[in-house]
A and B are shown apart, each in its own frame.
Chain A
Amino acid sequence: MKRIGRGIGLSFYGTGYGNGFPDVSRAKVRLLKDGNVGIYVGGTEVGQGARTIFYQIGSETLKLSSDNISFITEDTSLMPDSGTAAASRQTYNTGNAIKIACENFMDRLREVAKRELKLNSTQGLKVNNGKIYLEFFPRKVISFKELAQKQKGNVIEAEGEFVAQTVEMDSETGQGAPYWPYTFNACGVELEVDVLTGKVEILKTRFAQDVGRAINPHLIEGQMDGGFAMALGYVLFEDLNINEGRIKNQKFSKYLIPTAMDMIDLENVIVEDPESTAPFGAKGVGEPVMIPIAPAILNAIYDAVGVRITELPATPEKLIEAIEDSKEGRVVKHG
């Protein structure tokens, strides 16, 4: 017999290292010899899409096509540190550092352009599409390429640093505001529990994630899909089975992770509410996307069969045992 249940899970998650820990990202922007712009940044691409986001932020700030931007990353001898690709912090922290570095770089360009164009001031100088020009007299113009050729050994570059605001919690009371900013999310799940076999099948989900501003909706969907799948395995299958310090399920034939057949089509909802301290309002979503899924699934199991599972994974064996116990009126914690 199969029973259907519905559950929801809500979470909020802090960006970056938090709790007063120094959280610093740096970037350097340089005019290259060919007139293109090099952005030097330590932020690491591991498939989450950091590099794409960096291109977008750099391109938008510099008002320059990404074709004219080179990203030089992941070589500590060439670039300043941008902290770890962890804590869902690259979009917000390193994104901010790139934006600041680009803005400083544009100030540098205006100063050099002032000299080259023999102007009295940098007032009214606009940087757009690889050119610096006087907004009210556009004939006063110099391109990045011309500027690069004229520099002869003088490098035009600027750095940017972003230090996140984070406050250590009170060690006595555990109170405080350890993170900023937070992202918020909500997940609803409808599932079916086979009360004879203990097998759980996800039927439908709706998953909403606050992202500040979705500067790349494709990548956000990818993170949401992946977070859901990872959480699904965490809740229902994945068990290291540690016995006296030894991992017994040390291979994929025993440690089961979801396959394409375990997943269903997800209904993802991207919620935009731009964050004032974020680059173009965007916050990172790497980790938060996994968090509300487990409570949503466990609440739906409770709704379906009336048992609370308090230790993961909620394997068929555990579910059947819990269902049997509840029939006999035993109140047992299942874990």
Chain B
Amino acid sequence: MIEIQLTVNGKDYTVNIEEDKRLLDVLREDLGFTGVKEGCSEGECGACTVIMDGKTVNSCMVMGFQANGSNIVTIEGLEKDGQLHPIQQAFIDIGAVQCGYCTPGMILSAKALLDKNPNPTKEEIREGISGNLCRCTGYSKIVKAVEKARGYEDES
């Protein structure tokens, strides 16, 4: 067992974990952030995407100990004071959610993209979410939702 410290959604945590525990399992099992979804477990589908120190990572491909000292954002961290994040709201308004399994990862990839590039082109949006697989939506409404959320930081 090793002890790690990390910040998740603005709150500090200290956890004792097995050395071979993945960040995905630390977040889901030790800390209860079940919005982080496990899909393929090999870094291909993006369902377990979280934002780690400003960059998206597949949390199935990061070992728990590697997250020591890091700052992590999961889907649970986007809502503020009962208000959905503009990207979340846009996904609902446009109808970009079907089965919902890819949605947390999709929204976090969109957030990481918009944080870096507030006004991406459609092609940049497609590229930005290309690490997140979706079997239901054909991506069309997801891309539209991210387009709708573009520039939200200017408005807030």
| A interface residues (Cβ-Cβ under 8 A, vs B) | 46-49, 218-219, 221-222, 224-230, 251-253, 257-261, 263, 265-266
Contacts and interface: CB of A to CB of B under 8 A. Distances in A.
Contacts of A230: 135, 138
Contacts of A218: 95
Interface in B91-127: 95, 97-100, 122, 125-127
B129 interface: yes
B138 A257 contact: no
A251 B42 contact: yes
Secondary structure call for the B interface: loop
A207 to B, nearest CB: 11
Given A253-B42, A259-B133, A227 B138 contact: yes
A222 B92 CA distance: 13
Given A257-B133, A265-B140, 12 more contacts: A46-B99, A47-B99, A47-B100, A47-B136, A219-B95, A221-B140, A225-B139, A252-B45, A260-B125, A260-B129, A263-B126, A263-B139
B140 A47 contact: no
Interface residues of B, number: 28
Interface centre among A47, A222, A229, A260 (most CB of B within 10 A): A260
Interface centre among B40, B133, B137 (most CB of A within 10 A): B137
B130 interface: yes
A263 B135 contact: no
Contacts of B141: 221-222, 225
A47 B135 CA distance: 11
Contacts of B45: 252
Interface centre among A49, A228, A251 (most CB of B within 10 A): A251
Contacts of B42: 251-253
B93 to A, nearest CB: 10
Contacts of A265: 122, 140
Interface centre among A49, A218, A225 (most CB of B within 10 A): A225
A252 B45 CA distance: 7
A253 B100 CA distance: 22
B137 A222 contact: yes
A260 B142 contact: yes
Contacts of B142: 260
A284 to B, nearest CB: 15
A261 B42 CA distance: 20
Contacts of A266: 138, 140
Given A222-B141, A252-B40, A257 B135 contact: yes
A77 to B, nearest CB: 25
Nearest to A259: B130
B3 to A, nearest CB: 34
Pick the 7 closest A-B CB pairs, nearest first.
A47-B99, A225-B138, A229-B138, A252-B44, A47-B98, A225-B140, A260-B139
A46 B101 CA distance: 11
Interface centre among B40, B98, B126 (most CB of A within 10 A): B98
B143 interface: yes
Nearest to B96: A222
Contact of B44 (A48, A49, A251, A260): A251
B40 to A, nearest CB: 5
Interface string B132-154: 11111111111100000000000
Contact of A261 (B130, B135, B138): B130
Contacts of A259: 130-131, 133, 139
24 contacts: A47-B100, A48-B98, A219-B95, A221-B141, A222-B98, A229-B138, A230-B135, A251-B42, A252-B42, A253-B42, A253-B44, A257-B135, A259-B130, A259-B139, A260-B129, A260-B130, A261-B126, A261-B127, A263-B126, A263-B140, A265-B122, A265-B140, A266-B138, A266-B140
Contacts of B133: 252, 257, 259
Contact of A226 (B100, B130, B137, B143): B137
Contact of B136 (A226, A253, A261): A226
Interface in B3-60: 40, 42, 44-45
Contacts of B132: 260
Nearest to A251: B42
